[in-house]
Amino acid sequence: MTEAEREYYPAGAEWTTDSRIIDGKGCRYWVGGRGCGRPAAAALNRGRRGRTLWWCYCDDPVHLFGRKVENGVVMDWRVKR
Ligand SMILES: [Zn+2]
């Protein structure tokens, strides 16, 4: 999958870049037996049943599960048709 085959669009409300949520937080992506720890660029709400539980991730596209942060917005992608 190359960048050219991807079409990006703003991710859903389960993603945020709100500084009140990510400031001072480290990336929780698991790397080599521990959390990545780089400064967070975005957070994913992993809460269930109406609860809010933010997990923070850095700007590494792998740690954002293929997403990226652009102008303060988390961008999701789909295959371009
Ligand atoms: Zn990371």
Output the CA 23–ligand 1 centroid distance in Å: 14
Output the CA 12–ligand 1 centroid distance in Å: 20
Where does 11-79 show beta strands of DSSP type E? Answer: 15-16, 30-31, 34-35, 42-45, 54-57, 68-70, 73-79
What pLDDT score does 53 carry?
A: 97
Give residue-wise pLDDT tens across range 45-74: 999 999 999 999 999 999 999 999 999 999
Q: From 55, 69, 1, 47, select the one nearest 27 (Cα to Cα).
A: 55
Output the CA 81–ligand 1 centroid distance in Å: 30
Indicate the pairing of strand 6-10 with strand 73-79.
antiparallel
Dihedral over Cα of 34, 36, 40, 46: its sign: negative
Token pair for residue 49? 């049943």
pTM above 0.85, yes or no: yes
